[in-house]
Amino acid sequence: MLMQKRVLIIGAGALGTSSAEQLVRAGIGSLTIVDRDYVEMSNLQRQQLFSENDAQARMPKAIAAKERLRKINSDVYIEAHIMDAQREELEELFQEADLILDATDNFETRMMINDVSQIYNVPWIYGGCVGSYGLSYTIIPGETPCLHCLLESIPLGGATCDTVGVISPAVQMVTAHQVTEALKILVEDYDSLHRKLISFDLWNNQYTSIKMDNVKRPDCPSCGEKPSYPFLSPENQMKTAVLCGRDTVQIRPGSKQKRDLEALRENLHEGEVMQNPFLLSYQTDKHRMIFFQDGRVLIHGTKDITEARRLYHKILG
């Protein structure tokens, strides 16, 4: 049965490479990998499919992962897409998938995945990992609460791997849960699904399993009785613009927010940081990022919107 199944993985970082390798070794029929980034030396500590040669060549992660996976199991059909998956791309990819694994690095994409999964009735498995902490939850459209429901009750965002790091055992623990749930879905053993939010902190010896049935909301705009799929609407998607005459990209979140600059500063451990009551400036070797209280960010040193979005999510998740 596995050989007839098609899995889509969004993200080829720590979670994505680990899950992809396990699924390819298990012998699924088809795997599609989507990622917008390239391999860097700092990735090798936690992203298991890549080598120093990949980093030195700045190979796109999706391509490097595909080449490595083909050497592991050549019977699996593997597609690699170098792209920043937005609504149009997600809708096209979802129509060919039996299951989606979340291995992305930002909630903007996750919320779009959540809405598209409801439209096309495709299950997906949420996963997140930072430091020694990780969590996972399986979402079955029409049955379980969706990620939008969960966000009303449980804070799932925060720090990123690039600001506080991550230990490899925590990555493997998350993907152990994700891939096990994936295999249950792929062989259609739905009765064995965990149906709980799993969270843990390996360093502090904590493990929690929370039943989420009561979190499902009939008025949820993503999975409720009258869904509007808000995260697919243009006004809720990130706005980007190259500033005229400047080597700068402005990024503005889709929804209004008030950024806590003090909390952001605490998570910035490399580079030069300057702050006044109105903004925070973060200088790295190649770029300067200006964070405003209203959520806007100016990224100096590039006119490439894809690169700017990558830098934005690298800091803010």
Please check whether residue 171 is in contact with residue 184, taking contact to mean a CB–CB distance below 8 angstroms.
no
Catalytic residue, from 129, 146, 161, 223: name it: 161
Active site residue 161: yes
| Angle between helical axes of 14-26 and 61-72 (0-180°, round to 10) | 30
Angle at 67 between CA 64 and CA 73, to 5 degrees: 135
Residue 40 CA to residue 57 CA, distance in Å, equals 9
| Angle between helical axes of 87-94 and 107-120 (0-180°, round to 10) | 40
Of 87, 127, 93, the C-alpha closest to 108 is 87
3-state DSSP assignment of residue 298: strand
Residue 146 CA to residue 223 CA, distance in Å, equals 6
Residue 58 DSSP code: T
Question: Which residues are catalytically annotated?
Answer: 161
